[in-house]
Amino acid sequence: MTSTPAAGHTRPLRHMTPRSRDEANRAATPLELFFDLCFVVAVAQAGLQLVHALAEGHPGTGVVGYLYVFFGAWWAWMNFTWFASAYDCDDVPYRIATFVQISGVLVYAAGVPRAFNDNDWTIAVIGYLIMRVALTTQWLRAAFAETGPGRRTALEYAAGLVICQAGWVGLLFVPDGAKRWLFLVLAAAELLIPLVAERNQQTPWHAHHIVERYGLFTLIVLGETMAASTVAVQSALDENEALGELLPIAAGGLLIVFAAWWIYFAVPAHERLISNRQAIPWGYGHILIFGSAAAIGAGIEVAVEHAVGEAHISAFAANASVTVPAALFLLTVWLLHARHFKRGRAQQLTLPVSALAILACTFAGGWAVLAAGLVAAATVAVGVTLANRPTAPA
């Protein structure tokens, strides 16, 4: 087992031996937090493009484009997170490799607008290439330190990354009409890499550490959602005097985001992550949690633009841009981990019914966002009440 050295005492070079899955007091490092903060730049770019598409009345192309560029950001984050949970040795080469990946993330973020609007993936693929050079080097380094099945797993990860990255480069040379379809093929190949590489030997990821990493990224995305919403309201107030229209949106958005935080962290998800059988569906499914959390902020921005007359769409469309991702967030959190900790029909039905109620708020006109926020707050209140209800004696 390799333990991380104390802060301020990073060793120049360490053996990248596997971390222990039972390591006590395993926590996210400052480098991982810094990595996440840089990654949110790409998430923010994806959300910004979604705002423009929805406000211009192009929900179909907007949502599809958002899913494509968000997948790229999410998957790169996933690659780093699970590798770090298993092999983080926090020496100088490891930190430099992480810095290279951060550089690639920023390049990818710069390419998001072109990929989203023009189907031009050149800059985004260059960003991925930079990240993949660093990550492949990390896997090869892990393979050098491993023996037996663990070595084979690390080499298969490295080989899978190289093969898929060659496919992404090839994407740049196919006709525009075929890029979307080839993207789906390559995305499926990417998702298969962990399944193939770990079929005989699981990497030694740490359940509590992984759950903390996912939780921290959820917090950062919700924070970005709140920041983007605040800027949108402030900009609208600077250019208009529509306080009466904006205040319900701001209040409702705040309630939705706060409730999303409360609901996500209400259960100890790490207790259920025993092996890849639970961890892979849970980890992959988080693309919907992260994506919907970021989309809530984009939806609030669209609702603000509609309230001040800058978005030429219907009130129903503006409301749906908030209620649909909010409902999807609740439903996905319930599906991935909340339902496994609920007891009784009332607890099991709380989140699904609340998701339907939030969707119904789409028809509430100018009060839709506030109504959705009140439903989200009521969901928290009901959940707390049911969780603390005395259990009947056997």
pTM of the model: 0.91
Q: CA Rg, the chain, in Å? A: 22
Q: Domains of the chain: which residue ranges?
A: 30-197, 207-387
Cα–Cα distance, 323 to 357 (Å, whole number): 9
Instruction: Count, in order, helices (H) and strands (E) of the chain.
Output: 12, 0
Please give the single-letter amino acid code of residue 117.
Answer: N
Distance CA 156, CA 143 (A): 9
With bands split at pLDDT 50, 70 and 90, how would you rate the model's confidence at 391?
A: low
Position 281 pLDDT exceeds 50:
yes
pLDDT digits over 31-41, tens only? Answer: 999 999 998 89
CATH number for the domain formed by residue range(s) 207-387? 1.20.1410
CA distance 182 to 200: 29
Structure tokens at 299: 């939806």
One DSSP character per residue, 108-162 reads: HHHHHHHHHHH---HHHHHHHHHHHHHHHHHHHHHHHH--THHHHHHHHHHHHHH
Measured between alpha carbons, how far is 127 from 115 in angstroms, rounded to an integer? 12
Helix orientation angle between 30-55 and 59-87, rounded to the nearest 10 degrees: 170
Whether residue 6 has pLDDT greater than 60 = no
Instruction: Write down the pLDDT at residue 9.
Output: 55
Poorest-pLDDT segment among 1-5, 216-220, 262-266 = 1-5
Whole-angstrom Cα distance, residue 75 to residue 24?
Answer: 28
Percent with pLDDT over 90 in the chain = 69
pLDDT reading at 129 higher than 70: yes
C-alpha closest to that of 198 among 82, 302, 110, 113: 82
pLDDT band at 2 (very low <50, low <70, confident <90, very high): very low
- Does residue 240 surpass a pLDDT of 70? no
Higher pLDDT, 101 or 148: 101
Element (H, E) at 165: helix 149-171
